Chains A and B, each alone.
Chain A
């Protein structure tokens, strides 16, 4: 968890401070070297070694001074056990002072004082180093794995490691499952001495209290608990815990932690009391080493003669699932005389059986024991058999089972509970059993690893968001349809009534509903001045004799032109009717071609 930087400390101080763990090894090395040199120089033949004393002493002094300075800067960052830090600090300063004293006495030629100060400085160095190590790695780092007598000698508490649990169900979740995980993966930095982020995980009270940025556990909701969330962040994330390079918790451990928090982070509940889902049960079994080991399949070629013999003897089909894998499928459902004795005979194939169909056979609860040995089984048909809840105890051990068919058996709600441990179960058929729909629904909800589903859904959302941010959405809007070109209405004439020249379609006049075209503006003006003689020159006889609306005779004064054709009507009303919607009338006049235009 991030360390909140005290605002008063300049960043350069923190930067230089972090060189302390690097520099600290120099004065240690130099001092030890000096001590060794002096010891060896006692031998007459190695006397010349003492000549290097001055140089080494000078280096030691410089290194010790820098180290102490950096150490003081690092201490500003905070987050360390105050008492331990204090001891380390003063011991460190004492080493630096000791070096100074040794240099001074050596310079002044005070041999006895020099040797004295060197020995004292080396002793103080050991003390300072131990404190430093305790700050970094925890107080009991050195002695954690020390033999018991030594630990006793040192007065260390000798609380034995959590007792090996014989029955996983009886283990106390916090003390025997959760605490060991926290101790191994978190307590190195979050303990009474080294309160990184102000968080301690060594006691339940401290853990629930949280750190500087608030609580890390939301009782009953692991998804909202930072303790869990930070574990799941990518290792590269700044907030990921434990920091990159430190031992990381396994998937099993994370699942167990989340389950415990979801259950309300209780102090003294046992595994059985918290009803672990299948995924967690498996994790616990792995952690406690009680899980049954995997059973590698045998080579099919070795089994082949046995398969043929068994197949014939038992009248069942036994065939390889595929030629690429060593698995076998056995279908005994077609032999209705197949019973417990026959099932027992399949034992030699137990490590290779993947699918087993016992549907409709004479199998009973008592004879089902060999099934629990088929640890690689993924599909099991027990439908229409005499199997009851009692027999399901054998089935519950098949941890690779994905498909289980129990239809037409006496399975009840109670029997269902035994199947909780089937972590990989995907399909369960319970038609015509005593299981109630409600119980089945509750069981399905119960057995599901909701944590995992929730995280996967979260991941999907995250990836969707990534896709959204990584794609460029360009909006150019809809393309507007091209504006329809202004087409002049077709005139009734193609020769100018004034000059007789071909007409210009742009020079038209609408006269009493009829479009008349001319060759030039001059002629248009001429027409507008006196239309009558020019109208007489044009052929304005309508194409129809009867009004298309009423069927009465056409009034020659009530005519309009449409696409160059003159259409006659009986009255103004009919003309208006035509102008409003010409299509039906044009159709009536057999001018369909014009209408569709």
Chain B
């Protein structure tokens, strides 16, 4: 290795050749050897962005993984009580597909929500009794009651929300943002992911790291997940006997070796590796300060509810999200698991709401009093909705709901979002959209728009085709933009 000249193609070790992708090989052959420049690696940002003055400088996406039930939380359907236990009419279902979990069911009895609804705020938004804290911030929220998606099962659906495609492999929305807008803070990743387990169904649904992957974008733009138990980032502290200077010297040497290899092979993954090592080194200093909440005053902690001191809870991640936002992180994504309530929905939903209601409302209130809500976009939502008919037996106290992609509710708040509005309307069965449908691509286009990015213009060429997050669709949801 040491005697292989970095400028000689023939001297590349066989092992390197094996890992050389066809694309890299062709690029290198065409443009000569050692073409990749290293200077653009750190704090990278697209020169041509933003396309217009942004409303939001950062996003906090509160992903409710597993799909919360829209008609038990937001989409109030009082007339459904009349149809209790009756069959879902064919005129409503219209032969639409259902999942294999209920397709064997002989009957599809309608299960109206057993939870009480009331109007809140000046906007008079209807909310379930399960969300008493959210009720206090409704005037800051824009509800979209007519979200719909193309996927009917969790993985394709969450992949669709994350990447704009049901098939895994495309860059995630946070990666697009990190790639397009870069980071204001060199010491933290531009895209940070925090996960938490819910009390509803602790183990459902699993989350894969590829959900925040960078796809074909350079790897340093992938989301960095902070662990929800123990150290948020593993191996962050130096081993005994190694101080920061030593680590620095070691990294300098490793980087020098990597540069040699990079010039020889031209694989962009090596450049990504160098960038990641550097980021990790800086995070050794920045993360302990970030995750140390000992200086947070008690009244602030109280905003987020009693679980805020327990690492790995949704409350703890919400507080961390605010601290990340304050430190200029571009895209902060929380995933709270446990919303997949096929059976025993009332009990499980109560648990999930207890986990999330107060921390969510606390986060919004905390962002607001600090003036951060002005340039932070907050999005709350799952990957699809749930069915109006019960899965399993319907009793007066219990029911379950299957996956329903045809309509569900999400909300947005903060930068550039008009608070106190409710967009769209579903039918009396909360099954079909009556007015103003909003597609996943539309949501993506809107998030990008608020971040100052034209979703038609943020593109990346891969395998001979220009790709974008919104594929070949996407309309900005103008009614919710202030």
Chain A residues proximal to chain B, CB less than 8 Å: 317, 319-325, 327, 331, 333-334, 381, 383, 403, 405, 407, 427, 429, 431
Contacts and interface: CB of A to CB of B under 8 A. Distances in A.
A76 B48 CA distance: 73
Given A319-B45, A331-B328, A333-B328, A427 B374 contact: yes
Given A331-B184, A334-B185, A403 B54 contact: no
Interface string B318-336: 0000000001100000000
Given A331-B328, A334-B327, A321 B371 contact: no
B53 A325 contact: yes
Contacts of B328: 317, 331, 333-334
Given A321-B50, A383-B371, 4 more contacts: A317-B328, A319-B184, A321-B53, A333-B328
B51 A381 contact: no
A20 to B, nearest CB: 59
B48 A323 contact: yes
6 contacts: A323-B50, A324-B52, A325-B53, A334-B184, A383-B371, A431-B369
Given A317-B184, A319-B45, A381 B371 contact: yes
Per CB-CB distance, the 4 closest pairs between chain A and chain B, nearest first, are: A429-B371, A405-B371, A431-B369, A317-B184
A323 B49 contact: yes
A334 B49 CA distance: 21
Given A333-B328, A334-B327, A334-B328, A431 B50 contact: no
Contacts of A381: 371
Nearest to B369: A431
B366 to A, nearest CB: 10
Contacts of B327: 334
Contacts of A325: 53
Given A333-B328, A334-B184, A327 B53 contact: yes
Nearest to A354: B53
Contacts of B215: none
A431 B53 contact: no
A323 B51 contact: yes
A431 B370 CA distance: 7
A470 to B, nearest CB: 24
Contacts of B374: 403, 427
B186 to A, nearest CB: 8
A405 B184 CA distance: 19
B452 interface: yes
Interface string B18-54: 0000000000000000000000000001001111111
B184 A407 contact: no
Contacts of B185: 334
Contacts of B52: 322, 324
The residue among A317, A325, A427 with the most chain B CB atoms within 10 A of its own CB is A317
Contacts of B452: 321-322
Nearest to A333: B328
Contacts of A320: 50
A323 B181 CA distance: 12
Contacts of A322: 50-54, 452
B370 A429 contact: yes
Contacts of A327: 53
Interface of B: 45, 48-54, 184-185, 187, 327-328, 369-371, 374, 452
A331 B328 CA distance: 9
Nearest to A432: B369
The residue among B45, B51, B53, B187 with the most chain A CB atoms within 10 A of its own CB is B53
Nearest to A402: B374
Contacts of A324: 51-53
A427 B53 contact: no
Given A334-B185, A427-B374, A407 B369 contact: yes
Nearest to A404: B371
A320 to B, nearest CB: 8
Nearest to A431: B369
Contact of A383 (B53, B187, B370): B370
A427 B371 contact: yes
Contacts of B370: 383, 405, 407, 429, 431
Nearest to A429: B371
A334 B452 CA distance: 22
Nearest to A327: B53
A539 to B, nearest CB: 37
A331 B325 CA distance: 13
A281 to B, nearest CB: 25
Contacts of A429: 369-371
Contacts of B51: 322-324
Contacts of B53: 321-322, 324-325, 327
Given A317-B184, A317-B328, A407 B371 contact: yes
A445 to B, nearest CB: 18
A319 B45 CA distance: 10
Contacts of A403: 371, 374
B85 to A, nearest CB: 15
A383 B328 CA distance: 15
A312 to B, nearest CB: 10
B362 to A, nearest CB: 15
A347 to B, nearest CB: 22
Nearest to B188: A334
A263 B137 CA distance: 39
B171 to A, nearest CB: 22
A381 B452 CA distance: 20
A342 B185 CA distance: 18
A330 to B, nearest CB: 10
The residue among B54, B327, B370, B371 with the most chain A CB atoms within 10 A of its own CB is B371
A494 B256 CA distance: 104
B177 to A, nearest CB: 14
A521 B375 CA distance: 88
Contacts of A319: 45, 184
Nearest to B370: A407
A464 B370 CA distance: 38
Contacts of A407: 369-371
Nearest to A405: B371
B123 to A, nearest CB: 19
Nearest to B457: A323
A39 B45 CA distance: 87
Contacts of A383: 370-371
A578 B312 CA distance: 65
B23 to A, nearest CB: 29
A443 B48 CA distance: 41
Contacts of A333: 328
Contacts of A317: 184, 328
B311 to A, nearest CB: 25
A321 B453 CA distance: 11
Contacts of B369: 407, 429, 431
Given A334-B328, A381-B371, A321 B54 contact: yes
Contacts of B49: 323
Contacts of B54: 321-322
A334 B369 CA distance: 20
A356 to B, nearest CB: 13
A431 B371 CA distance: 9
Contacts of A323: 48-51
A422 to B, nearest CB: 15
A427 B54 CA distance: 17
B391 to A, nearest CB: 27
A383 B374 CA distance: 14
Contacts of A431: 369-370
Nearest to B453: A322
A271 B362 CA distance: 45
A376 to B, nearest CB: 13
Contacts of A334: 184-185, 187, 327-328
Contacts of B48: 323
A223 B68 CA distance: 52
B415 to A, nearest CB: 11
Nearest to B48: A323
Nearest to B50: A322
The residue among A323, A381, A403, A405 with the most chain B CB atoms within 10 A of its own CB is A323
